[in-house]
């Protein structure tokens, strides 16, 4: 949409209107000029015929041939007069001065005939022929001059209008260009206001509006950024929170069992103690007591070990989350820790998590970030791939990528998979198919960003109905975060 096309149309219609007006005016003027000139010839013919008959009255009466011929000869010197024929009434004598040469090319004649009277009697007749040609030629020259002057006038008007429209068009085109630039990619594009006319006011208005839109966008962007940050933060906290809940649940059982065991051992000890005081304790009873004590303490020991392990794992995870410095660590135990810390949550469902990782694979990486990535992918498989009572398998596989300084972790499930239109959107922030069931749609966009922050990428292979594989490919030695 170019402004010049609009201006071009306006210019064309202005030129057409001016042309039609000037042409009509010229035609009317020419018509009027032509008619007036020919009317004047008619009047002249009347006057000439009257003049001739008046001049000849006594000459014809007297039959003064010589004077008549002389008079007629002077008359036909008038270039408009073609012929004069005088006829005497009584004798029928005729005097005629034909201008043959003039008649030759002439087709339009004005004729008059008048009577010659003397002292109240009709003495003869005058026939007068006049040609329109000289006046027609004259009027044609005038009309030509008129048309020429009108054409010049039209061209002058056209030029003036074009020049002023060109100015307007240039300014409008500049405005259109700024407006396009503003809409497409340059929020700082502003119009130049040189004059305070209508276009200047329009440009200033646009500038004010653009300024407002820009400021509004900036504050919106800042707000969205801030909200997204806090959502990402709360998503991370939710991850740690669900781990805490799972670990607390997991610790509950061994600690509860320990308390039961300890109070049972205390009551058994009380029984034995009172039998010793009453001197009724038999050796057999003492043996049974010692056996109970032994197995009770062993159970207590196992429970406490398990609790200590869980707390240790969680402490490590927690510290990694908080500190997350790059450090060398062995991948397999690290992934085992993840599986262990997710176990409390996943244990309540029939699906299982399988880990495949070489023993000797060491990476130098940010464990906290890697933990978040893998946990998110496993939890997504748990949330999205399976129905609650479906016994699926989530496979976590890690390996070095041959001939590169990269390693990759696949998280594969044999669950629902994703349709292509879902796949194309899952890494976008806030895309979720579980909006009503607590999905935020931030998980995979966070994972994507985290993988990039470790210098890597994430890929998805999935087919509706036959499961999904997320592959995170990362450098064995993560890039320095400060750089
Ligand atoms: N393993 C998976 N199987 C099927 N769909 C998945 C899987 N992982 C992710 N998705 C899809 O990707 C969407 C986005 O995931 P995510 O960004 O983690 O957000 P959320 O988990 O909050 O929905 C999910 O809503 C789900 O539709
Ligand atoms: Mg998720």
Which one is the CATH code of 327-483: 3.30.1490.20, 3.30.365.10, 3.30.565.10, 3.30.43.10?
3.30.565.10
Q: What is the CATH number of domain 3-160?
A: 3.30.450
Q: Whose CA is nearest to atom 27 of ligand 1?
A: 433
Task: Give the whole-angstrom CA distance, residue 297 versus residue 102.
Answer: 154
Q: Quickly list H helices, 185-281.
A: 198-277
384 CA → ligand 2 middle, Å: 8
Nearest Cα to Cα of residue 398 among 354, 369, 357: 357
CA–centroid distance for 56 within its chain: 96
413 CA → ligand 2 middle, Å: 14
Under 8 Å between Cβ of 53 and 132: no
In short, whether 414's Cβ falls inside 6 Å of ligand 1 is no
439: buried, middle or exposed (CB in 10 Å: 19+, 13-18, 0-12)?
Answer: middle
Site to substitute for ligand 1 among 234, 420, 444, 445, most atoms within 8 A of C-beta: 444
Q: Whose CA is nearest to atom 1 of ligand 1?
A: 381
In short, whether 432's Cβ falls inside 6 Å of ligand 1 is yes
SS3 366: coil
Taking only Cα atoms into account, the Rg of the chain, rounded to an integer number of angstroms, comes to 59
Residue 398's CB: how many other CB atoms inside 10 A?
20
Task: Give the whole-angstrom CA distance, residue 445 versus residue 80.
Answer: 104
Task: Give the whole-angstrom CA distance, residue 76 versus residue 52.
Answer: 11
What are the residue ranges spanned by the domains of the chain? Answer: 3-160, 190-322, 327-483
Structure tokens at 235: 């998503």
Nearest Cα to Cα of residue 43 among 122, 105, 135: 135
Nearest Cα to Cα of residue 359 among 397, 333, 389, 325: 333
In short, whether 433's Cβ falls inside 6 Å of ligand 1 is yes
Task: Give the whole-angstrom CA distance, residue 293 versus residue 281.
Answer: 16
Task: Give the whole-angstrom CA distance, residue 477 versus residue 475.
Answer: 5
SS3 111: strand
CA–centroid distance for 257 within its chain: 67
Residues of the chain with pLDDT under 70: 1-4, 99-107, 246, 482-483
Report CA-CA distances (Å) from 275 to 264, 270, 291, 297, 459. Answer: 17, 9, 17, 22, 71
Nearest Cα to Cα of residue 89 among 50, 122, 136: 122
Nearest Cα to Cα of residue 139 among 26, 30, 25: 30
Q: Given the CA of residue 433, which atom of ligand 1 is nearest to it?
A: 25
Task: Give the whole-angstrom CA distance, residue 75 versus residue 87.
Answer: 16
Task: Give the whole-angstrom CA distance, residue 25 versus residue 150.
Answer: 9
Under 8 Å between Cβ of 84 and 75: yes
Under 8 Å between Cβ of 99 and 36: no
Q: Given the CA of residue 376, which atom of ligand 1 is nearest to it?
A: 18
Nearest Cα to Cα of residue 413 among 331, 346, 483: 346
User: What are 122's strand-pairing partners?
Assistant: 117
283-323 helix and 367-380 helix, angle to the nearest 10 degrees: 100
In short, whether 434's Cβ falls inside 6 Å of ligand 1 is yes
Ligand nearest the Cα of residue 382 is: 1
Residue 450's CB: how many other CB atoms inside 10 A?
20
Task: Give the whole-angstrom CA distance, residue 199 versus residue 321.
Answer: 60
Domain pair 3-160 / 327-483, same fold? no
Give the DSSP per-residue string, 86-109: EEETTT--EEEEE-HHHHHH---E
pLDDT of residue 102: 57
């Amino acid at each position: 949409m170019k402004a010049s096309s609009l201006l071009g149309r306006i210019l064309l219609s202005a030129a057409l209107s001016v042309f039609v007006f000037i042409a009509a005016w010229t035609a009317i003027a020419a018509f009027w000029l032509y008619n007036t000139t020919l009317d004047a010839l008619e009047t002249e013919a009347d006057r000439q015929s009257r003049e001739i008959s008046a001049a000849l009255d006594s000459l014809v009466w007297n039959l003064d041939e010589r004077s008549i011929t002389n008079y007629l000869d002077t008359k036909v010197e008038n270039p408009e007069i073609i012929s004069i024929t005088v006829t005497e009434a009584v004798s029928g004598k005729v005097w005629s001065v034909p201008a043959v040469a003039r008649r030759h090319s002439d087709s339009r004649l004005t004729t008059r005939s008048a009577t010659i009277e003397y002292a109240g009697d009709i003495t003869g007749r005058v026939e007068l022929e006049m040609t329109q040609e000289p006046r027609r030629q004259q009027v044609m020259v005038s009309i030509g001059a008129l048309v020429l002057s009108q054409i010049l006038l039209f061209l002058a008007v056209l030029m003036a209008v074009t020049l002023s429209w060109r100015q307007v068009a240039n300014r409008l085109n500049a405005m259109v260009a700024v407006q396009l630039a503003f809409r497409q990619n340059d929020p700082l594009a502003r119009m130049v206001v040189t004059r305070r006319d209508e276009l200047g006011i329009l440009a200033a208005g646009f500038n004010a509006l653009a300024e407002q839109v820009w400021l509004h966008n900036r504050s919106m962007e800042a707000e969205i950024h801030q909200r997204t940050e806090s959502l990402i933060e709360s998503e991370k906290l939710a991850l740690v929170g669900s781990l805490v809940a799972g670990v607390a649940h997991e610790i509950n059982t061994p600690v509860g069992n320990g308390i039961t065991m300890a109070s049972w051992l205390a009551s058994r000890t009380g029984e034995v103690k009172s039998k010793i005081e009453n001197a009724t304790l038999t050796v057999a009873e003492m043996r049974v007591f010692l056996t109970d004590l032994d197995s009770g303490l062993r159970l207590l020991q196992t429970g406490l070990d398990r609790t200590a392990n869980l707390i240790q794992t969680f402490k490590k995870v927690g510290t990694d989350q908080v500190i997350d410095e790059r450090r060398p660590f062995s991948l397999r135990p690290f992934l085992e820790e993840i599986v262990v810390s997710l176990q409390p949550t996943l244990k309540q469902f029939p699906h299982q998590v399988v880990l495949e990782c070489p023993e000797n694979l060491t990476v130098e990486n940010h464990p906290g970030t890697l933990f978040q990535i893998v946990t998110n992918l496993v939890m997504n498989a748990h949330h999205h791939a399976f129905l609650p009572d479906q016994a699926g398998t989530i496979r976590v596989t890690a390996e070095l990528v041959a001939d590169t300084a990269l390693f990759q972790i696949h998280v594969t499930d044999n669950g629902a998979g994703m349709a292509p239109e879902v796949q194309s959107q899952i890494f976008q922030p806030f895309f979720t198919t579980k909006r009503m069931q607590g999905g935020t749609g931030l998980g995979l966009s966070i994972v994507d960003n985290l993988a990039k922050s470790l210098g890597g990428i994430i890929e998805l292979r999935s087919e509706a109905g036959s499961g999904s594989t997320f592959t995170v490919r990362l450098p064995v030695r993560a890039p320095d975060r400060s750089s």
